A and B are shown apart, each in its own frame.
Chain A
Amino acid sequence: MMEKTLLLVDDEPGIRKVVGITLSDMGYTVLEAVSGDEALAIFHREKPPVVLTDIRMPGMDGLELLRRIKAESPETEVILVTGHGDLEMAVQGLKLEACDFISKPVNSEILEIALKRAMDKIQLRRRMREYTDELESRVSEQAQKLVELERQCAAQEAVDGLTQAMGGLAGEIAGEFAMFNALPCLVSIQDRDQRVLSANQLYRERLGDRVGLPGFTIYAGAAGLGLDSPVARTLRTGQGQKSREGLFGPEETLSAVTVHTAPIHSAGGQVDLVLEILVEAGEVQRLQDELHTTRQRYQQLFDEAPCFITVHDRSLRIQAANRRFRQEFGPATGGLCYQVYCGSERPCFGCPTLKTFEDGRSHQTEITVRGKNGDPVNVVIWTAPIRNAAGEIEAVMEMATDITELSRMQDHLASLGMLIASLSHGIKGLLTALDGGVYKVNAGFRANDQDIVQAGWCKVTELIGRIKGMVLDILFYAKKRELQLREMPAADLAAQVAEAVAPKASQMGVAFVVEIDPDLGNFTVDEGVLSAAMINILENAVDACRDDKAKTAHTVSFRARPDCSGVFFEIEDDGVGMQPDTLARLFSVFFSTKGSRGTGLGLFIAKKAVDQHGGRIGAVSEPGQGSTFRIWIPREK
């Protein structure tokens, strides 16, 4: 389309000529039409941007032409030329979006203004179109900028996330001490041109906002030139780098840093970005010191904790043991836990450590172990898995708390309740037998048979004796009884005991040998408690002989002899003897081999009595050969 082409429409040749010349002078190429129809034809052919038309024309008038042109090409500007008194038509023309109107005779200045206005309008419209067309490319341009911005944000997030992850990792390594959170790392991500895309806060604080600037200029020496910077080497080799560099600080100071880099690959496998981490050398030293202190603190905690701590491998070998453990159980490292702890040849039943190896969870158990001097120690054991970096369970830690005292008290409390349950069987048996005795007495009376009455009465008497003994046992056990100490000749007590047991032995046909050293001396004891304990053991010895059908004759020996600080008693029988497992549980509460005849309290009480006197009690036995109990009582408690 020609820039300054104009269609002039007028039916009067004179006007066409004058105006045409004026327009040509103005620099327009003028197309002329004599009627509306011709004008339309030329318009179709030439598409002039401006049309100047007379309103009054024969045939198609100017308004009609305006309407048609605007219908076809709204952007074409139409200027109307009006005669005198055609104002109304001119207004109509403006309504039909004529650009302007000028009146005849045509003043060249007014014409020029009208044309300029038309041209301005066209130009404005053209610019607007250009803008519209541009808009799309502008949007995509802005979108690209946004993407770039997003990318930077993502990189920033990556840096922050990484710093956090490293903090977390370090925290894990150092346990609860989160000292690595304060790790003074300067972290940045740089692109292929070594420009900083993103940096963590510390980096920004220390080195300023360097986003968009080359990352290597912070370095002294060759690295500072960019060719041999850690990032450049990473880009060149595709490998992570570690090096020591000089770092320019404020006021031209120079400090040493350790630089780690790691390549970040794009989807195509290219090194797209490089992660750079700077650690100041001085800080590394400080952190190492701190780690050392922490380790020491752990070791101290490990050693001083008021419980036994051990670390076990899969074969239950002890890898580490704390001081408390070594004190109580001897040097243990390298030994098998069940040997060191329990003196047994196989893992304990329900071993919590094995369970933890299996399921990775913490387990708890309560067992009795043996200390260095052989004394039983009741412990509660908690376990915890120790995992390696890959998350596999490498070892299990056992923490054992000594609850011997506690379980002693617990034993006492629990057994008060247990008494009822545990003893009811025995008591019911006794009561039933007592019924039997009474029944027999009654039967004797009914039959008027003195012998039956006598036999029944013997039964009743015996059973009442047994019930009495049991009730006393229970009372003794249930009540915390203070010892009533009195100094007395040990020989007197021994004689009392022997006297009390002799009838039972002879009744059972068991020989009873008493050997009491005449120089036993005095001791300070609770006569009742101690003699009851010894009678109990002696009666057991007689029972053991009665139960032994393998031999025809049996002997129970009761010996007493002095030693430098106390009196030693020995009770020996050649009865049925005991199996090792019986022997092991001998002095525990409610353990009885006697079925309905035993309360399970006798030996427990005997041991308690001896313990109360500060003495010692022990037993040895061979199944089928007999048993020997030894009791030592100090002269003064």
Chain B
Amino acid sequence: MAKKIMVVDDDPDIVEYLVSIFKEKGYATCSASGGEGALELLESERPDLLTLDLEMPDEWGPRLYRKFSQKPEFKDLPVVVISGLAGIHLAIRKAVATVNKPFDPAQVLEIVERAIGKP
């Protein structure tokens, strides 16, 4: 079964963009548009990697991260931060990488592959 990547971003266009990049490469995907629903989706989909936007209208990325990383089953889930905020590289210190918007799709794919391997 293909490895699964979960995309969390409040902008549906960006969700669609990321999902299509990952899909084309062969990864399975799922997505949430904000904090609401993201936790339930994590539980039900059990992804291998998570991309996370930091600033969303209803939830602040780092707080969402704290919520799920306290659970033992998600403690080691690799997180890639993808955000337009400046100076964000320390917002989530355990993130495997921090990518600034607008991003280079090849760079994102390389980071993902380094973190969880090929699909």
Contact = CB atoms under 8 A, between A and B. Distances in A.
User: Chain A CB within 10 Å — which of B11, B85, B105 has the most?
Assistant: B11
A439 interface: yes
Contact of B14 (A424, A433, A440): A433
A201 interface: no
A425 B101 CA distance: 8
Interface string B81-119: 000111000000000000011110100000000000000
A433 B11 contact: yes
Interface in A384-441: 421, 424-429, 431-437, 439-440
A425 B55 contact: yes
Given A439-B20, A440-B20, A443-B20, A597 B102 contact: no
A595 interface: yes
A439 B109 CA distance: 14
B56 interface: yes
Contact of A428 (B20, B24, B84): B84
Contacts of A594: 57
A72 to B, nearest CB: 108
Contact of A595 (B17, B20, B24, B56): B56
B13 interface: yes
Interface residues of B, number: 21
A64 to B, nearest CB: 117
A425 B11 CA distance: 12
Contacts of B56: 595-596
| Chain A interface residue bracket vs B | 20 to 34
B10 interface: yes
A594 B57 CA distance: 7
B16 interface: yes
Nearest to A435: B102
Contacts of B42: none
B21 interface: yes
User: Chain A CB within 10 Å — which of B24, B55, B102, B105 has the most?
Assistant: B102
A433 B17 contact: yes
B20 A463 contact: no
A437 B85 CA distance: 21
Contacts of A425: 55, 84-85
B57 A429 contact: no
A463 B13 contact: yes
A597 B11 CA distance: 8
Contacts of A429: 11, 14, 84, 101
A595 B16 contact: no
Contacts of B55: 425, 595-596
Interface of B: 10-11, 13-14, 16-18, 20-21, 24, 55-57, 84-86, 100-103, 105
